[in-house]
With several copies, the nearest count.
Chain A
Amino acid sequence: MARVVVDVMPKQEILDPQGQAVANALPRLGFDGVSSVRQGKRFELEVDDSVDDAALAKIAETLLTNTVIEDFTVRRVES
């Protein structure tokens, strides 16, 4: 068994209103010094050892990410 993390973030050029809402709220709550916030998704998968990197990339690219608007990274982490 391996643990795999897939991070999916909105592409830089795409407006991220959720991240922006957080960034705008911070000074109001008394937190200064945060110049930008972007919000994406994090997936944690438990996979059999039989699942190879190519399969993981495929899962990330075809299902977990819409590559029109998002970028992704895949990495195995020890569990």
Chain B
Amino acid sequence: MTTTEHLADTVENAAANPETPQPFRELGLKDDEYARIREILGRRPTDAELAMYSVMWSEHCSYKSSKVHLKYFGETTTDEMREHMLAGIGENAGVVDIGDGWAVTFKVESHNHPSYVEPYQGAATGVGGIVRDILAMGARPLAVMDPLRFGPADAPDTRRVLPGIVAGVGGYGNCLGLPNIGGEVVFDETYAGNPLVNALCVGAMRVEDLHLAHASGTGNKIILFGARTGLDGIGGVSVLASETFSGDESAGKRKKLPSVQVGDPFTEKVLIECCLELFQSGIVVGIQDLGGAGLSCATAELASAGDGGMHVDLDLVPLRAEGMTPAEVLSSESQERMCAVVEPSNVDAFMAVCAKWDVIATVIGEVTDGDRLVIDWHGQTVVDVPPRTVAHEGPVYNRPIERPADQDALIANAPDALARPSTPEELRETILKMIASPNLCSRGWVTEQYDRYVRGNTVLAQPNDTGVLRIDEETGRGIALATDCNGRYCKLDPYVGAKLALAEAYRNVAVSGAAPLAVTNCLNFGSPEDPAVMWQFEQAVRGLADGCVELGLPVTGGNVSFYNQTGSTAILPTPVVGVLGVLDDVRRRVPSGIGNEAGETLLLLGE
């Protein structure tokens, strides 16, 4: 290796060489976005700063196309709906008070694109990521669910993707000791080439243990702990590396890096126990998970949520690969890492807990009294930015919206035209065909690969429509969770379709004997640059929010996944809705299905 590789682009260098061309378009930034970064900084960004802004201002991290619509959730939530809510949209995950001093936190997130590239690892790290979100709130993760969508069951690519995704969800979740209490498996041709892997995690804590991460208190230490940082998932940012690695062999190699991350559930399991012990002993100010955008995201978010600045020394970050550039260290999506803010007097105690669990922990910086996020590398400053501009003040777009021209034709093409079974034989045949169809047949092949028993609190799981967990062994207090979405309804009418998804999850929770309490969602759509998709999105958000008002439930959090399409064909609009309910005593749960006892009476409620 040559020595030139370490000549990182410093702030000083950026100021001195304002016209150095930068590959901002390859990193996904638009011309005006790049111009805004230059304006914020009063100079061109360094490579490391460019890497930070480009990931943090991506659709995935900044919600730039969805923000203006998601506001509607907040606007429609009344104080009454907020009654049980302890934390809502904007936090890692929503938190609700379920009584008896228990707080429950839950969230669903997508990991669609990585799961298409590498099904097993994509799905596995999807589970790993959502679990760390829940953990960062101070809660013990208790269970997972996995709403999945695939192309046609007999399509060759589904045969590649489905077994890997199911094995990945199971492989990671089983090894973490989190029961899988439900999910969905839906097939539709629009998901061929773009499967959906949504992962939900639910956790619980005592109300007084709720932790919201922020870096406050000058002098407090920033500690990175968990796995080492490697070249995982930095696919895009390797464009920058090739610049610095001017023409030598490794440049070529670096460029080909797949942007896949490999999960290590064992490390995460140990990290969970370690974090819970840290929270328990009260020696952390806050803990932030590292997910997409890695350290860029964690440092910028911690700093902008706090009241000061932050200084980080990147040389201290334990690395797994040689010759990483500062931009790569900041953007690496290596899994199973967390970042904590710790008062200096507690650092030793913190390190002792990490040592007990064999978790690597390193002080990488501290909270400063300035208002800048400053990051050094080899003694020189490579990042010097106002953290809010990275984490919260990204671009916001009012994308064009247009109801698709063919929507009326689609609606007009009603099922009335279809032939109906008219004889008992035809009816029998239709029923047999239906129950054997991929969308209705047994999910046993999938659910058998998931541990639903671990920890001994699973009261209902498959084949029930709702998962029910015991939270308190003394009182029997527990929760119910269901996720639902019919993308075909949403395609016909995204507003009503989203309401129906909510209504279905709500019903499923209610019939298990639980009182519905809160809603989360994962909004999977096509490209936001397509006005028809934006229309679907806007309608779905309004439908879901209005439905929540009618039912009196708050949306406590969610996730948006855009660009789910193959070529110009978008997936069915798929706003997956999760409803959380509470049972005073899980012994009074109602399993789904009939025929448990002889002589049962069947009643049909509603119209």
Q: Is B230 an interface residue (CB 8 A)?
A: yes
Please pick, from A21, A24, A69, the residue contacting B262 in the complex, using a CB distance under 8 A.
A69
Q: Which residues of B contact A66 (CB under 8 A)?
A: 118
CA distance A64 to B71 in the complex (A): 49
Q: Which residues of A contact B58 (CB under 8 A)?
A: none
The reply to whether B358 and A69 form a contact with Cβ atoms under 8 Å apart is no
Complex interface bits, B152-189 against A, C-beta within 8 A gives 1, otherwise 0 = 00000000000000000000000000000000000000
State the interface size on chain B (CB cutoff 8 A). 21
The reply to whether B118 and A68 form a contact with Cβ atoms under 8 Å apart is yes
The reply to whether A17 and B321 form a contact with Cβ atoms under 8 Å apart is no
Q: Which residues of A contact B231 (CB under 8 A)?
A: 13
CA distance A17 to B321 in the complex (A): 14
Q: Which residues of A contact B218 (CB under 8 A)?
A: none
Number of A-B contacts (CB under 8 A): 38
Given contacts A24-B358, A69-B121, contact A15 B258 (CB under 8 A): no
CA distance A13 to B320 in the complex (A): 8
* A14 CB → nearest B CB, Å: 5
Complex interface bits, B478-517 against A, C-beta within 8 A gives 1, otherwise 0 = 0000000000000000000000000000000000000000
* B567 CB → nearest A CB, Å: 22
Q: Which residues of B contact A24 (CB under 8 A)?
A: 358
Given contacts A21-B266, A24-B358, contact A68 B334 (CB under 8 A): no
CA distance A16 to B228 in the complex (A): 12
The reply to whether A69 and B260 form a contact with Cβ atoms under 8 Å apart is yes
* B576 CB → nearest A CB, Å: 27
Q: Which residues of A contact B267 (CB under 8 A)?
A: 17
Q: Give 5 A-B pairs besides A15-B262, A69-B121, A69-B260 with Cβ atoms closer than 8 angstroms.
A: A10-B262, A13-B230, A17-B263, A20-B264, A24-B358
CA distance A13 to B231 in the complex (A): 6
- The dominant DSSP class at the A interface is loop
- Measuring CB to CB, which residues of chain B are less than 8 angstroms from any residue of chain A? 117-118, 121, 227, 230-232, 257-258, 260-264, 266-267, 320-321, 334-335, 358
The reply to whether A17 and B262 form a contact with Cβ atoms under 8 Å apart is yes
The reply to whether A14 and B266 form a contact with Cβ atoms under 8 Å apart is no
Q: Which residue of A lies closest to B231 (CB)?
A: A13
Complex interface bits, A1-33 against B, C-beta within 8 A gives 1, otherwise 0 = 000000000100111110011001000000000
Q: Which residues of A contact B230 (CB under 8 A)?
A: 13-15
The reply to whether B262 and A14 form a contact with Cβ atoms under 8 Å apart is yes
Given contacts A24-B358, A68-B118, A69-B118, contact A15 B266 (CB under 8 A): no
Given contacts A13-B257, A17-B264, contact A68 B117 (CB under 8 A): yes
- Provide 25 A-B residue pairs closer than 8 Å at the C-beta atoms, listed in order of the A residue: A10-B262, A13-B230, A13-B231, A13-B232, A13-B257, A14-B230, A14-B260, A14-B262, A15-B227, A15-B230, A15-B264, A15-B320, A15-B335, A16-B262, A17-B264, A17-B267, A20-B264, A66-B118, A68-B118, A68-B258, A68-B260, A69-B118, A69-B121, A69-B260, A69-B262
In this complex, which of A14, A20, A24 has the most chain B Cβ atoms within 10 angstroms of its Cβ?
A14
Q: Which residues of B contact A21 (CB under 8 A)?
A: 266
CA distance A68 to B118 in the complex (A): 7
Q: Which residues of B contact A10 (CB under 8 A)?
A: 262
The reply to whether A69 and B334 form a contact with Cβ atoms under 8 Å apart is no
CA distance A14 to B233 in the complex (A): 10
CA distance A20 to B267 in the complex (A): 10
